[in-house]
Chains A and B, each alone.
Chain A
């Protein structure tokens, strides 16, 4: 009986801790983690895993590798969180790590043609996979159209130069401010605006024939 009561108390306590963490902003969660609350890290993972996965995936275009890189981001965050300057935004720091990892991945690919070939081949094989993201209640022709459009959009993004693409994704997908993008990409504000403007124009130009 006492065991059951103890278990119930622990679970209630765990639940309240989780709820308390959920209600906190990033900075407070980081403080909790540094204060020894291990569950705070899970909260950070929950908050950022999907966002980081989408950001890295849109940048490098390889889903498996994107997952690996997201894991690497969290490992780095775990190791170096005590060094994080808490006067800055946690999300900016995390995205800076993710952006650098994605950039390194693209650089390694361009240096190693075999990796590039394997990625292209893998993406090619992906064509045969069942649909994953479309609404299965849609009509087949709608599904085909949607899938086709999604592929075109992804291909168009991939065609943008790397430094334009990075800024474009951070702004349009992640909704980051110009200042945050400047900090993440380590560029000045003018460069960010100019790159974003060019990226938007190029993207619109490439995709226009498919949309009209």
Chain B
């Protein structure tokens, strides 16, 4: 063990919390190293001095003062708990009034004579038929002359169908 290890473990050495082997090593170092032995003695002597400082006692009126303060504290707590109780009582009263109101309303509603069930009048009506804009021949005729030839030809292919459609729709219309 060197002096550095000794210093590191000195706290536990003084407090007597070292394991057996470590304790023996520390004691051996103490015998071998004079400066560490001096340091150890210095610390132990200083601690002894500090630990033997005379204890001071509370003054004569300490208990009376404390008692008075504790009484104040008790009173404060009492006032606080009374205030809480009062608030609780107010809240409970309000809640019970609301509850009573609700119960009485419910009971009143139940005791009333049963009324006739009044339903809104039913009005029969014929649904309006949907007015579809007829895609008439006008659509076909409105094709401008400026169209290129093949879309025009495609369009022309659909013409009989459209005509057929418009005829059907027209037939529906008249119904």
Contacts and interface: CB of A to CB of B under 8 A. Distances in A.
Interface of A: 41, 45, 49-50, 53-54, 57-58, 63, 67, 70-71, 74-75, 78-79, 133-134, 149-150, 153-154, 157, 172-173, 193, 196-197, 200-201, 203-205, 207-208, 211
A150 B62 CA distance: 24
Contact of B43 (A67, A153, A157, A201): A201
The 10 closest A-B pairs by CB, nearest first: A204-B46, A133-B54, A204-B43, A197-B11, A204-B42, A207-B46, A49-B58, A71-B66, A203-B46, A200-B43
Contacts of B49: 149, 153, 207, 211
A20 to B, nearest CB: 21
A121 to B, nearest CB: 20
A45 B47 CA distance: 28
Contact of A173 (B45, B53, B66, B77): B53
Contacts of B47: 172, 200, 203-204
Contact of A70 (B14, B51, B58): B58
B39, B47, B49 — most chain A CB neighbours (10 Å) = B49
Given A54-B55, A150-B54, A71 B65 contact: yes
Interface string B76-120: 010000000000000000000000000000000000000000000
A53 B66 contact: no
A203 B54 contact: no
Interface string B22-37: 0000000000000000
Contact of B73 (A57, A79, A153): A79
Given A75-B69, A153-B50, A67 B11 contact: no
Given A203-B46, A211-B45, A196 B11 contact: yes
B162 interface: no
20 contacts: A49-B62, A54-B55, A54-B56, A67-B58, A67-B62, A70-B58, A74-B70, A75-B73, A78-B70, A79-B77, A149-B49, A150-B54, A172-B51, A200-B43, A201-B43, A203-B46, A203-B47, A204-B39, A204-B42, A208-B42
Nearest to B77: A79
B57 interface: yes
Assign chain B's interface to a size class: 20 to 34
Contact of A150 (B43, B53, B63, B69): B53
A45 B59 CA distance: 14
B14 A200 contact: yes
A200 B11 contact: yes
B54 A78 contact: no
Nearest to B62: A67
Contacts of A172: 47, 50-51
Contacts of A193: 11
A173 B50 CA distance: 8
Contacts of A173: 50-51, 53
Contacts of B55: 50, 54
B69 A71 contact: yes
A74 to B, nearest CB: 6
B66 A211 contact: no
Given A67-B58, A79-B73, A204-B46, A45 B66 contact: yes
Nearest to A70: B58
Contacts of A201: 43
A74 B66 contact: yes
Contacts of B77: 79
Nearest to B51: A172
**Interface-central residue, B53, B69, B73, by most chain A CB under 10 Å:** B53
Given A204-B39, A204-B47, A211-B49, 16 more contacts: A49-B58, A49-B62, A63-B56, A67-B58, A71-B62, A74-B70, A75-B73, A79-B77, A134-B54, A149-B49, A200-B11, A201-B43, A207-B46, A208-B42, A208-B46, A211-B46
